[in-house]
Amino acid sequence: MIPTSGLDPETLMQEVALDRDGPQVVAIGGGHGLSNVLTAALSYASRVDAVVTVSDDGGSSGRLAPHLDIPPPGDIRKCLIALTPDDSTWRQLFEYRFESADVAGHSLGNLILAGLSDIEGSFELALVRAERLLGTSGSVIPASQQHLVLIAESGTDVMTGQVNVAAFRGRIDSIYVSPPTAAAAPRAVQAIESADQIILGPGSLMTSTIAAMRVPGITEAVNRSNAQLVYVANLITQDGETLGMDGIDHLDALLRLTGVRPPGAILANDTAIGTTPPLQSVQFDPDITATYGADLVTSDVVDAGADWPSHDQGKLAVALHEIADSRFRSER
């Protein structure tokens, strides 16, 4: 078990700027956890790319994607914002959410992406235009170029759709996406194969991290890559898809359901978190973790000011930076 130390989170985040001598970082997943990792990686990487799940069927994304035949834009929008300077007017527009009328519940950023997709003729070109408008420090790449449906099986039970999979309580035997002809976006594969560090998580294990990895071609690209593979563990369990699972259960599910190679490092929180049963903090047994060939890196990575247990971007930056440095030091 390896504790982190050294760099100061606040100082590091005040000096966020791409380091031309730093590693190329690719983060895979979705949701708020992925956007936190992207912001953290900006402090030490030479390039940051996000490969984002495309099977979200809830909220604004769930209303837009099937009707406009585009990947769900919600998680993609969050990642674009994470890679955008704080003082950008375009960032404020992409963050704005309507509260009334026919567009109630929709994020303006989601609508802009949908409109750009129609103007540019493809969602991929829409993202390129959006990155230019926002001045992002990296790219956000859908895991697939089409909207996919997430399907999970547990015994004889079949759960269809991200919302239903997230709500399921019990062991999942298999998880996959539909249609079966789905394939990874070429840009996603290229980014993964070029990376020096690949980060999985944090985020909903089944419906964000594993959902992105189950797009045919994504896991295969990770396994071909020579990049350092890092798994950032969730802080607490999620009612439904990970209820009752400890850290090893999370890791086992990730490997078992995706076929991805074991991570070289696992970043886990080591500070106390208040939870309300049946939720619990995610903890790893160091001895069992070692049998997977992974270094267990522990640190206080909790955002003390958040209303809900969340990762602190500055603390994540410190820990991930040190994990990256340990790889590069060993190669010199």
Phi-psi label, residue 19: left if phi above 0, alpha if psi -120 to 50, beta otherwise: beta
Going by pLDDT thresholds of 50, 70 and 90, the confidence category of residue 227 is very high
Containing structural domain, residue 324: 2-331
pLDDT at 106: 80
CA angle (152, 308, 242) in 5-degree steps: 25
Instruction: Give the other-Cβ count within 10 Å of 101's Cβ.
Output: 7
Summarised one tens digit per residue, pLDDT across range 85-110 is 888 899 999 999 887 767 677 889 99
- Joined tokens for residue 184: 């990874």
Whether the per-residue pLDDT at 14 is higher than 50: the answer is no
Give the residue ranges of DSSP H helices in 138-246: 162-167, 186-194, 211-213, 218-224
pTM greater than the 0.75 cutoff: yes
Give the tokens for residue 29: 């997943």
Domain CATH code at residue 189: 3.40.50.10680
* Cα 95 from Cα 112, distance rounded (Å): 11
Amino acid 20: pLDDT: 80
Q: Does 61 have pLDDT greater than 80?
A: no
Q: How many domains are contained in the chain? A: 1
Supply the DSSP symbol for 261. P
